[in-house]
Amino acid sequence: MAPAASVLEIVQTGDPVLRQRARPLAVEELATPRIQELIVQMRDTMRAAPGVGLAAPQIGESIQLVVIEDPPQRHGELTPEQLAQRERGEVPFHVLVNPTLVIEGDEVVEAFEGCLSFDGFVMIVPRARTVRVEALDERGEPVVTTATGWYARILQHECDHLAGVLCCDRMESRTLTTAENYARHLRSKTIDEVHALLGQPRGGSK
């Protein structure tokens, strides 16, 4: 267990830092003890939350720094069918600095996602199925990642944070739901079933 002292406060939507465009990190600054310590603190904060990604603006630092980890322990509440449907597998811990994201192909997939800075709610967000990210790792070495499915969703969500964009900006707004109601009514449903339950009432206007 990480010491509690290394867990940082996660800022919530409405904090202006989440709406700023984060600045790139110079390689020299990345190497400083302050930033290297911040990476460890962000990792511990993500794990404690728990979450599968955390961007520096979420802990109040407007810099282009992201940590990601999707370990099997986080998949416990999903059935093998749901994991396959989401194309979700293990992603080891890693760090992305100054990432640039390019959407590959034109496939779009819908899934419920949440955000540690939009605590207590989840929402359906359409995302590109496949993306390519170029970035630096924590040592300043270039890395290129091509990802499909859930990992591509995490990458899009975290890179959005660095541009001041939150998942609620991209959501299907009628699907916004408390985490409690998601668990009660929607967790076992397919996306089509969710749209049937929450979509526009028959005869309603857009």
Binding site for Zn ion (CB under 5 A): 115
Our CB check for Zn ion shows the closer of 12 and 140 to be: 12
The closest alpha carbon to 15, from 55, 42, 45, belongs to 55
**Dmax of the chain from CA atoms?**
60
Give min distance, CB of 118 to Zn ion, in A: 7
**Which positions are annotated as active-site residues?**
158
Our CB check for Zn ion shows the closer of 119 and 193 to be: 119
Our CB check for Zn ion shows the closer of 66 and 136 to be: 66
Give min distance, CB of 115 to Zn ion, in A: 3
- Cα dihedral value 193, 119, 116, 33, nearest 10: 180
Torsions phi, psi for 72 (to 5 deg): -55, -30
Nearest-angstrom CA–CA distance, 204 and 114: 27
Give min distance, CB of 117 to Zn ion, in A: 5
Our CB check for Zn ion shows the closer of 115 and 198 to be: 115
Nearest-angstrom CA–CA distance, 88 and 106: 19
205 class by beta-carbon count within 10 Å (0-12 exposed, 13-18 middle, 19+ buried): exposed
Give min distance, CB of 87 to Zn ion, in A: 20
Torsions phi, psi for 148 (to 5 deg): -130, 145
Closest residue to Zn ion in the complex (CB): 115
